[in-house]
Amino acid sequence: MSNFICPKCEQPLTKAGNQWQCPDRHSYDTARQGYTNLLLVNQKKSKNPGDDADMVRSRTLFLDAGFYQPISDAVNALVTRSGSVLDIGCGEGYYTDRLAKHLASAKSEALVIGLDISRDAVKVACRRNKTIRWLVASGARPPVAPQSIDTVITLFTPLMPAGLKHALSDNGEVITAYTGKRHLYELRAQIYDDVNMDEYSPILAMQDAGFECVEETRVNFRIQPNTNEQLQALLAMTPHRWKVSPDKAAQFALLASLDIEVDVVLNKFRRQQTS
């Protein structure tokens, strides 16, 4: 038994060899890299949904250089529930892996699941940690048993409140990360004449879905990428990559280093208590 459910009929999946199967014999292969594909064709809006291989490679190069370790440490510090953890939109697994290692070092017997709609991302994530269950699946309807997860983390990923409601246990907690208004200010100033200072907050959408915010932490620090490869990787892992004009891209290609502000807001949510 596991706490995975069939994405077609929502009955429990059991493992048979390198397949997962439900009582109605819907079956899902585990790839040789170790991940399981629980994404149905009708859940895809394109052939290869989610981040593409180039974006994934850039993210790995940048994250493995340690620039965002303070964000990962702050996320780990917010995880205080014992039990199962689900990372929705785990990408190439940097944060999932560091959280699993953090929980293991605290002798917490957590089941950690990393889920992303991008197969390219999950393939890379698989290499990071074999103790994590890696799934290609949609966060809109995570294929886990209802209310079976004690902590959901969802970092820099489109908010999917219905998926969170489905997965999270009654006393469970959700931890989100979104970019603050000053995030990557100096990088954006290289690309745009007017830098947008809006800040997205998940609080209202989460309230509408029945979650209350119980903690908010701003993680603010500076980084100094000092090769153009690192700067290109940082740009390529953000949506700004699609918006650079050819002129600005040519200028950016000449930059050898940049001092950049990182500004990220972490929120922790619980289900609103109904009296």
Ligand X SMILES: C[S@@+](CC[C@H](N)C(=O)[O-])C[C@H]1O[C@@H](n2cnc3c(N)ncnc32)[C@H](O)[C@@H]1O
Q: Which does 26 bind (CB under 5 to 8 A by kind): ligand X, Zn ion, none?
A: Zn ion
Which residue has 């050898």 as its token pair?
A: 256
Distance between CA atoms of 79 and 173, rounded to whole angstroms?
8
Q: Which does 8 bind (CB under 5 to 8 A by kind): Zn ion, ligand X, none?
A: Zn ion
Nearer to ligand X, 179 or 207 (CB): 179
Nearer to ligand X, 114 or 172 (CB): 114
Query: Least distance to Zn ion from the beta carbon of 57, Å?
Result: 34
Asked if 264 is part of the footprint of ligand X (rule: CB under 6 A), the reply reads no
Nearer to Zn ion, 4 or 68 (CB): 4
Contacting residues for 2 by C-beta, under 8 A, at least 6 apart: 12, 13, 14, 15, 20, 133
Query: Least distance to ligand X from the beta carbon of 275, Å?
Result: 33
User: Structure tokens of 174?
Assistant: 């959700």
Nearer to ligand X, 7 or 251 (CB): 7
Nearer to ligand X, 51 or 150 (CB): 51
According to the 3-state scheme, what is the secondary structure of 122-149?
A: HHHHHHHCCCCEEEECCCCCCCECCCCE
According to the 3-state scheme, what is the secondary structure of 49-111?
A: CCCCHHHHHHHHHHHHCCCCHHHHHHHHHHCCCCCCEEEECCCCCHHHHHHHHHHHHCCCCCC
| Sign of the dihedral through C-alpha 224, 158, 64, 70 | positive
Which residue has 């200010």 as its token pair?
A: 185
Query: Least distance to Zn ion from the beta carbon of 13, Å?
Result: 8
The helix (H) or strand (E) run that includes residue 251 is helix 246-252
Distance between CA atoms of 188 and 260, rounded to whole angstroms?
10
Query: Least distance to ligand X from the beta carbon of 163, Å?
Result: 8
Instruction: Restricting to residues 57-76, name those near ligand X by CB under 6 A.
Output: 59
Q: Count Cα neighbours of 133 within 13 Å in the Cβ-side half-sphere.
A: 19
Nearer to Zn ion, 21 or 228 (CB): 21
Piece of 156-164, 184-192, 211-219, 224-232 that binds ligand X (CB under 6 A) = 156-164
Asked if 126 is part of the footprint of ligand X (rule: CB under 6 A), the reply reads no
Instruction: Restricting to residues 6-65, name those near Zn ion by CB under 5 A.
Output: 6, 8-9, 22, 24, 26
Asked if 137 is part of the footprint of Zn ion (rule: CB under 5 A), the reply reads no
Asked if 51 is part of the footprint of ligand X (rule: CB under 6 A), the reply reads yes
Which residues are at the interface with Zn ion (CB under 5 A)?
6, 8-9, 22, 24, 26
Per CB under 6 A, residues contacting ligand X are: 50-51, 59, 89-91, 94-95, 116-118, 121, 138-140, 155-158
